[in-house]
Amino acid sequence: SGLNYEGCCVSYSKYQLPFIRIKGYSIQTPQDYCDIPAVVFHTIKGKHICANPKDTWVEIRIQQLM
């Protein structure tokens, strides 16, 4: 998932999450312990997956959710 004990993304998932597994997302901006920008996808199973906001697949998933 890429989350640390503070609930921050510290790395990006290498896995491209299928759209059907995504319930929503939030945006992490760099601050305090969260030192990288990230899109945090919320899955239907309650997991949080950290993704690189610059990756094309991430931009596509965000558009699909709108």
Give me the CATH number covering residue 38.
2.40.50.40
Residues 20, 58: Cα–Cα separation, whole Å: 14
The verdict on residue 6 lying in a domain is no
The verdict on residue 32 lying in a domain is yes
Question: For residue 20, what pLDDT is reported?
Answer: 96
pLDDT at position 5 over 70? no
pLDDT in tens, 16-63: 999 999 999 999 998 867 889 999 999 999 999 999 999 999 999 999
Question: Count of domains in the chain?
Answer: 1
The verdict on residue 50 lying in a domain is yes
Question: For residue 52, what pLDDT is reported?
Answer: 97
Q: In terms of DSSP bridges, do strands 22-28 and 48-51 run parallel, antiparallel, or are they unpaired?
A: unpaired
Question: For residue 57, what pLDDT is reported?
Answer: 97
pLDDT in tens, 6-16: 678 989 999 99
Residues 30, 11: Cα–Cα separation, whole Å: 12
The domain in which residue 47 lies consists of: 19-65
